[in-house]
Structure 1
Amino acid sequence: MKKILIFGSSGQLGSQLINLLKDDYELIKISHKELDFNKFYLIEDIILKSNPDIIINCAALTDVDRCEIYKNEAYNVNAGAVRHIIRPLKVTESYFINISTDYVFNGITGNYREDDLPDPVNYYGLTKLLGDIYANSYDNTLIIRTSGVFLNKGFPVFVYKNLMENKRVTAIPGYYSPISAFNLAMAIKDIIPLNRIGILNIAGNKISRYDLALRISEMYNLNKNIDENNIELKAKRPFDSSLNIERAKKLINFNFYDIDINLKHMVIK
């Protein structure tokens, strides 16, 4: 049985991966509770001692505004940690999957393909791009770019909870490609045996945040107290960070991209 080391195992994606992979792989689960990602030597030590066949890095500081304020923390978690994951792989020769983001792009054109040139507009995107660069320096790496991952957190959950409480929801203008953590984990499970390297976009269909909020109100018969307006935020957001997923559709044998299917995997606590 192959051994998989999962960094960020308690997060939305990591927890779903554990549920889906536990019967087929020996899992080593590392969350922020077990590991301070600022202590890089511990990352290398864990990898060398466990000698995994596969490493999946789901750990990230994804709060875009927090990244703009706490830049050292953002760099350490999103980029520095990846650099130190890569170092011992010269010894273990593990297959490495690094989870990246649509926010490496500037959002001018949208429908970004795997080979499009990154140009982040905020510090979160910059640190994730640096993490990608570090990851790509190791030959046996797959970088998975995704968008708006949600399970019990994220914009869809925010919309649902607020509409349930009859609160007004303001959606900032723009487009992205949201996907549930469950469907993303299912897709990764399908991808692992293929031993793909390079970059692969795995995300949902393109939708505006406003249209997504309306869809949630319709699916769950909630009020439509929704508007679209700019909100003052610490970090700039790309206007259209939607990802082209045609390559992934050819490799993954289920519908991971339909928005209605993804919304059914929201977990409301």
Structure 2
Amino acid sequence: MRILIIGASGQLGLELSAVLKGEIIKVYNTKEVQGGYKLDLTNYSAVEDFIIKKRPDVIINTASMTDVDKCEVEREKAFKVNAEAVKHIVRASRVIEAYLIHISTDYVFDGERGLYNEGDLPNPINYYGLSKLLGETYALSYDDSLVVRTSGVFRHKGYPVYVYKTLKEGKEVSAFKGYYSPISARKLAEAISELIQYRKTRILNVAGERISRVDLAMKIKDKFNLVGSIKEVDHVEGWIAKRPFDSSLDISKAKKVLSIDFYSLDENLRYMVV
């Protein structure tokens, strides 16, 4: 099986490269990856041409502009990468009849309720969430596609890694009061590897268990015997975009589909790269 990973230099892309079996074609947009191809995702004709020439059986689009505040300021770029590029990936996928897995986010929801399931109505409160929702819409216009919604992916960066490193240095962690469903890039990659076999379509939530950032910070502090302190805050200094208070995802459907433990916090924390 020939699998194309778009965004191969990101956290999920790196883990997919390690986990997936078969002929792996790696595309990166910024940081170089070994044995990969550099491709500007906003050069849409080049993207379509590349996909059609390589003719992968499966395409996994992990590429995204994920800096929430940067998306709020650089909206045109966020739209091009998170939405418009997906339209052209879909166009090429349709031509070669490839199975497309598109990675999306819990930030398509407003965070008023939490534990959102696959059928809940999105209502993003920042431009990152809106651009990702538009990308979902393009992906779902293709019958042979699966949108994987996830939350708080971490590996060598992300909130858990920030907490670990800050507390280890004896400093204070600012913990936003809200809730989410963090998952390690490794466990998400393993889940996607299994999902390829089933060729599921539409939307599936694949994320960790619901937890507050405060409780997560406390868990990391206790688990690794760290000395720093934790401060609960309503807003992190420097934030530009609004954040949903509780963007946690209902993962009950994925638990029935997948055979692996992709969700437990202890299992996910094993794969922090610190």
User: Partner residue of 2:119?
Assistant: 115
Q: Which residue of 2 aligns with 1:128?
A: 132
Q: How does 1:106-255 map to 2 (within 5 A)?
A: 106-229=110-233, 230-232=235-237, 233-255=239-261
The total of aligned residue pairs comes to: 265
Q: Over aligned residue pairs, what C-alpha RMSD do you find? A: 0.8
Q: How does 1:63-82 map to 2 (within 5 A)?
A: 63-82=67-86
Find the aligned partners of 1:57 and 1:88 in 2 and give their Cα distance.
13
* Mapped partners of 1:254, 1:48: distance in 2: 33
Q: Distance in 2 between matches of 1:91 and 1:141?
A: 13
The answer to whether the 8 A contact 1:171-1:213 is kept is: yes
Contact conserved, 2:168 with 2:228, CA < 8 A, in 1?
no
Equivalent pair of 1:214/1:224 in contact (CA under 8 Å): no
Q: Distance in 2 between matches of 1:67 and 1:162?
A: 26
CA distance, structure 1, for counterparts of residue 113 and residue 244 of structure 2: 10
Runs of 4+ with deviation above 3 angstroms: none
The answer as to 2:16 corresponding to 1:17 is yes
Q: Aligned partners of 2:188 and 2:94: how far apart in 1?
A: 28
Give secondary structure in 2 for the equivalent of 1:88. helix
In the alignment, is residue 28 of structure 1 matched against residue 25 of structure 2? yes
Cα-to-partner distance string for 1:81-104 (whole Å, 9 max, x where unaligned): 101101122210100000000000
C-alpha deviation, 1:254, in angstroms: 1.6
The code of the aligned residue for 1:209 comes to R
- Counterpart of 2:183, as a letter, is I
CA contact (8 A) 1:169 1:225 kept: yes
Q: CA deviation at 1:264?
A: 1.2
Gaps of 5+ in 1: none
Alignment partner of 1:170: what SS? Answer: strand
For 2:94 and 2:19, how far apart are their aligned partners in 1? 28
The amino acid that maps onto 2:236 is I
Residue equivalent to 2:267: 261
Any conservation in 1 of the 2:166–2:228 contact (CA below 8 Å)? no
Counterpart in the other structure of 1:3: 2
Query: Alpha-carbon deviation of 1:224?
Result: 4.8
Counterpart amino acid of 2:106? D
* Aligned partner letter, 1:115: G
Q: Structure 2 regions of 5+ residues with no counterpart?
A: 31-37
Letter in 2 for 1:25: G
**Cα offset for 1:73?**
1.1
Asked whether the 8 Å contact 1:43–1:84 carries over to 2, the reply is yes
Q: Give the Cα separation in 2 of the matches to 1:87 and 1:226.
A: 47
Instruction: Tell me if structure 1 keeps the 8 A contact 2:60–2:101.
Output: yes
| TM-score between the two structures when normalised by the length of structure 2 | 0.95
8 A Cα contact 1:57 1:99, kept in partner? yes
Give the Cα–Cα distance (whole angstroms) in 2 for the partners of residues 237 and 260 of structure 1. 26
The share of aligned pairs that are identical, in percent, is 54
- 1:96-120 CA-to-partner distances (Å, cap 9, x unmatched) read 0000000000000100000100000
The alignment partner of 2:69 has SS state of: helix
Aligned-pair CA distance for 1:255: 1.1
Give per-residue Cα distances to partners, 1:111-159, cap 9 Å, x unaligned: 0000100000000000000000000001100000000000000000001
Partner SS, residue 228 of structure 1: strand
1:223 is paired with a residue whose SS is coil
Match of residue 62 from structure 1: 66
